[in-house]
Amino acid sequence: MKKVLIAGLFMLFAMAPAFATSVASLNGTYNFQLVQSSTSSTQTCANVQSGTGKVCFNLPTVEITTGTISFNGKGSATFLTCSSCDGKGGPVIGHAYAYTVSGYVANINGVPNGNGSNCAIAFSLGSFNTSGVATTALILVTNSGNSPMMGSANLR
């Protein structure tokens, strides 16, 4: 019985770090990088070697967006920089957007996408410091009418 009790206590102490981060949060300035891939609407064609036909295809395009975002730990996020946002839609630099955290997922809604609607930004939180603040997050941005963007953010 004593061995079972000791083993149970050992398991409880071993699992304590997992319970310590049960309230995840975002707090501080994060560097982010997003990748968006889409297919060009114009076709590129090449003659077949025998000269009797053509092979045509759409070329994929990749856009990379980098920047910084600051979370105050209380539900307000401000984009500080964004490499390809100005003039193309996306977040307004310096404007505070509300965010929520539920479990290990954070969401920012209401960010304009440049097409007359808003995009949704979801963060999957991970790698927590001793205060329960996420030091890394995977990001998914869904845009109405555009292909999604995916990437990551790292606490500075």
In this prediction, residue 1 carries a pLDDT of 45
pTM value is 0.73
Residue 60 has pLDDT above 50, yes or no: yes
| Spatial contact of 36 and 149, defined as CB atoms under 8 Å apart | yes
Mean pLDDT of the chain: 81
Residue 2 has pLDDT above 70, yes or no: no
Mean pLDDT of all residues in 24-42:
87
Measured distance between the N- and C-terminal CA atoms of the chain, rounded to whole angstroms: 49
Question: 21-37+63-155: which CATH number, 2.40.128, 3.30.70, 3.30.1490, 1.10.3210?
Answer: 2.40.128
Instruction: Give the whole-angstrom CA distance, residue 35 versus residue 109.
Output: 19
